[in-house]
């Protein structure tokens, strides 16, 4: 630590991770109950304090890895939350991050270890401090970006049906989508590829399986620039 800025008060900086998943046609949120004061026993997002030797993104990635055991997760900064009285314990400024993962990629043993659970977004309880506001801002961010960025594929398995993809869109947007128009639009996107495989598990008649071609998406993005 340096000797500078001693005339200024010190504040804590934390990161809070808003982790979304998708299952059974529902957008889900990974929540747990705080095991520390203040707010012990209240529903909360999972977070942690930023260490002296790490950046904000590094701190968020560390927290996400500790909780999920997953790397290379889709993650975007949602915003800063710094109301003076947001934390009754100390002066804490929190940077919220939004992450998207496939529920089936998440080890169930970690749910028990960290005492967290998947909660349907529509059933989200009252959360600690301003965490509800963080979630609402994250949803707004997803809804703005879902038409221009391939967000949905982070919530799905590598192979998926168009029906599954539509359900993800509907879960994020919070409204029904016309099936015919949706499929027409999706089939025109070059980086969504139809495979020769058929899904006979979720579809009785057998539906074609598609995949997200990341290389094609990146090439398309570069071409647009």
Report how far residue 140's alpha carbon sits from residue 78's, in angstroms, rounded to the nearest whole number.
Answer: 10
- What is the model's pLDDT at position 48? 95
Q: Is residue 35 within 8 Å of residue 117, measured between CB atoms?
A: no
Q: Is 115 a catalytic residue?
A: yes
Looking up tokens 């008060």, which residue turns up?
9
- The first and second tokens of residue 3, run together, are 């000797």
In the DSSP assignment, the letter for residue 100 is E
Q: Report DSSP letters for 28-92, one per residue.
A: EEEEEE--SSSSTTSEE-EEEEPPTT--HHHHHHHHHHHHH---S-EEEEEEEE--TTS-SSS-E
- What is the model's pLDDT at position 67? 92
- What is the model's pLDDT at position 108? 82
pTM reported for the whole predicted model: 0.91
- What is the model's pLDDT at position 198? 93
Within a 10 A sphere around the Cβ of 48, how many other Cβ atoms?
15
SS3 content of the chain, % helix, strand, coil (to 5): 35, 30, 40
Report how far residue 50's alpha carbon sits from residue 14's, in angstroms, rounded to the nearest whole number.
Answer: 5
Q: Mean pLDDT by 10-residue block, N- to C-terminus, for the chain (225 residues)? A: 81 97 95 93 96 96 93 94 93 97 88 92 96 98 92 94 95 95 92 91 81 85 46
- What is the model's pLDDT at position 200? 77
- What is the model's pLDDT at position 217? 87
* Of 3, 27, 150, 12, residue with least CA distance to 89: 12
Catalytic residue of the set 52, 115, 175, 215 = 115
Exposed e or buried b for every residue in 179-192, given b needs 16+ CB within 10 A? eeebeeeeeeeebb
């Amino acid at each position: 630590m340096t000797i500078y800025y001693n005339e200024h008060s010190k504040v804590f900086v934390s990161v809070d991770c808003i982790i979304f998943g998708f299952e059974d046609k529902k957008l889900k949120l990974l929540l747990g109950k705080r095991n520390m004061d203040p707010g012990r026993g209240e529903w909360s997002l999972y977070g942690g304090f930023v260490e002296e030797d790490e950046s904000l993104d590094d701190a968020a990635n560390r927290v996400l890895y500790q909780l999920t055991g997953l790397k290379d997760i889709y993650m975007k900064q949602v915003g800063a939350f710094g109301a003076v009285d947001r934390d009754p314990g100390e002066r804490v400024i929190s940077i919220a991050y939004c992450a998207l993962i496939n529920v089936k990629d998440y080890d169930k043993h970690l749910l028990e270890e960290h005492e967290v659970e998947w909660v349907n977004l529509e059933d989200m309880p009252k959360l600690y401090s301003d965490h509800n506001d963080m979630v609402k801002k994250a949803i707004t961010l997803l809804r703005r970006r879902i038409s221009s960025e391939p967000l949905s594929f982070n919530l799905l398995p590598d192979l998926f049906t168009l029906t599954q993809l539509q359900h993800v869109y509907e879960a994020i947007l919070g409204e029904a989508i016309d099936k015919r128009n949706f499929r027409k639009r999706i089939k025109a996107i070059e980086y969504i590829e139809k495979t020769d495989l058929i899904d006979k598990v979720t579809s009785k008649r057998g539906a074609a399986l598609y995949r997200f071609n990341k290389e094609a998406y990146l090439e398309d993005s570069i071409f647009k620039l």
